[in-house]
Chain A
């Protein structure tokens, strides 16, 4: 495969005739050839009954099924280039900036609440730069590091991204080994008010991937150890506040994942994870420490997701099943059951109809501290126009209608000091996913609108 070779047409030059004079134009032609890649989603939606689109996520759930259920504009724009190539040795640069806006206006400042512009990637990889490790890639800088997600509900279950350094794809005979050190510093810590003096959370990530175990199937094993890395003065400060510095966050996450290819025309991924203490957070626990939000306790998670073709070229389906049990010493944990399917029927190469059915059920560890059980079922019907057939083909323009049903009241009165009776808190539907335009006591809701989704790049 010559995928990464950007000079495929580089031709042998007739050096014999023109001698070294050929070299200058040839090098000029092989100048840096930047490439552009990115992702975006955006659109418009409304809530039946009035108001802008409400997005339905079960309170306490780390994710929501996304088709016809995303209320923001999100985009990533990346630029990269191969900056050096000699024999098998290459150096590549890659960068990525992400944008989020609440999709409410023409002119939306990225500094407004909820909007953001973030530098997500800025790194260099050097492939075949270490003589003893042919095929391995040395890298440093901040990057998305080998993230694992479920596309249907935008749930990242293994993600230690951040500034870091590492060696990837070391050939160990059977499979490949990757080592990395990444960082995630706490940003909500008011004990260390100076931005430069926050707790630095360090994660060491070791993965052994591409281990063949059965025809078309392979295994990936990984261990992440994370620890808040305290300076002497930070330890002193904590001691002065009667906090034992040894209680600072530390924990580990183990992951076993099986990937099956040739699975009904698509693939299946089955992952089992166990994590402890400091590497866990109340919401998304992905394998890195993020300091003060973490809890002591443990977590089990098992999930299965994939893509299959039910009728070749006519009907495919994304699916996901998740069970997660977080057991925290302070009883703030919970169990999460989730399942979703997204069959898509392709009428033509361009037009398709998608149906997404998603279900989330949350069972708090302790009703006293976290409210009762709650669940959300959502179903979305979308008519789509895409650049081809298949669950991953984009761009897509879709018109959607979403119906969601949940247990009990949607919201409660927040009750925070200074709030009015109209301020909403999560009861069965989580607030904070854009507008909250169903009524406090509504038990179901309907939204409709249009959305685009696009990704591109090589």
Chain B
């Protein structure tokens, strides 16, 4: 036992040191749902219209952790006041997949709406939080709400806004009791315990991932559990939308956004010559038949007749 004091000292020192380090830093416990809601009601409306939201530009391939808290801009949307994050979609020659993932932490979760705007800042499509799916804990990930949409950026799909509507926040999500998950993993009897309910909060974290669609259809997809996305921009609106110049009175902060939408205007003619068949093949590879059909529709209306028939043939040839 002679060396005992030394051993105790060393391990004690390690523990004390790390303990002290923690004590000096603030505890990062999540604020309650009520606190978040109070912060929201105190927050001032940043902007007088959707056109004047502070849009940040998105890359083709990006992963962002979005924090919703008192420091996040707030706006009165048509369906409620909310903290939000707004983005200009990238100029992309191919559809992109937007993946939303919102972890359930300490019995609360941000259940966002994804609003898609055209280049005139008019809402084109609204994907409410009821479209998100509960995903149980998987691997090392927490339980979460998740969803994916594919979007073909263009004049009819130029901006997105992530926020929580009044009805989003009125909801809640029941999630599996971690004791049950643990029991299944260890082969134990499932405990007779209720599943907790996460309130939909005004504040918290959401992960937004954007990637070109072709990357989502690789061979690993089934193994990784990557799901096929839901298309957000309906082909109907794609054909009918006529692009108009953004309102003259734009604030300085969206100069970038506005100019990028003018660039889109310029590349619009190129888009009609896009290699739709390559994109359709990518969509098929990703298992997204709906998107493939939309792309075929769009190719037809862009003058590439015969694309629908070609798609039908593609589907036939992949029949085993």
Contact = CB atoms under 8 A, between A and B. Distances in A.
A24 B178 CA distance: 37
A441 B192 CA distance: 47
Given A9-B227, A448-B7, A448-B11, A2 B192 contact: no
B191 A144 contact: no
A26 B181 contact: no
Task: State which size class the interface on A falls in.
Answer: 35 or more
Contact of B225 (A21, A33, A400): A33
B318 A28 contact: yes
B134 A148 contact: no
Interface string B160-195: 000000000000001110110110111111111111
Interface stretch (B57-65, B238-246, B255-263, B287-295): B287-295
Interface residues of B, number: 70
A78 B186 CA distance: 10
A220 B135 contact: no
A442 interface: yes
A209 B293 CA distance: 51
Interface string B287-316: 101100100000000000000000010011
Interface in A316-364: 346-349, 351, 353
A347 B227 CA distance: 37
A144 B187 contact: yes
Contacts of A313: 29-30, 106
B293 A18 contact: yes
Contacts of B11: 399-401, 448
A8 B318 contact: no
A381 B106 CA distance: 26
Given A259-B193, A448-B7, A387 B287 contact: no
B22 A261 contact: no
A455 interface: yes
16 contacts: A17-B293, A18-B315, A28-B287, A28-B320, A29-B228, A38-B185, A46-B7, A120-B187, A147-B188, A158-B189, A220-B192, A259-B193, A347-B23, A381-B12, A401-B12, A457-B181
Interface of B: 1-4, 6-8, 10-12, 14-15, 18-19, 22-23, 25, 27-30, 105-106, 133-140, 142, 148, 174-176, 178-179, 181-182, 184-195, 222-223, 225, 227-230, 284, 287, 289-290, 293, 312, 315-316, 318-320
Interface of A: 1-3, 6, 8-9, 11, 13-14, 17-18, 21-22, 24-26, 28-29, 31, 33-39, 46, 48-50, 76, 78, 96, 120-121, 143-144, 146-149, 158, 161, 209-210, 216, 218, 220, 259, 261-262, 267, 269, 313-314, 346-349, 351, 353, 381-383, 387-390, 392-393, 395, 399-401, 442, 444-446, 448, 455-458
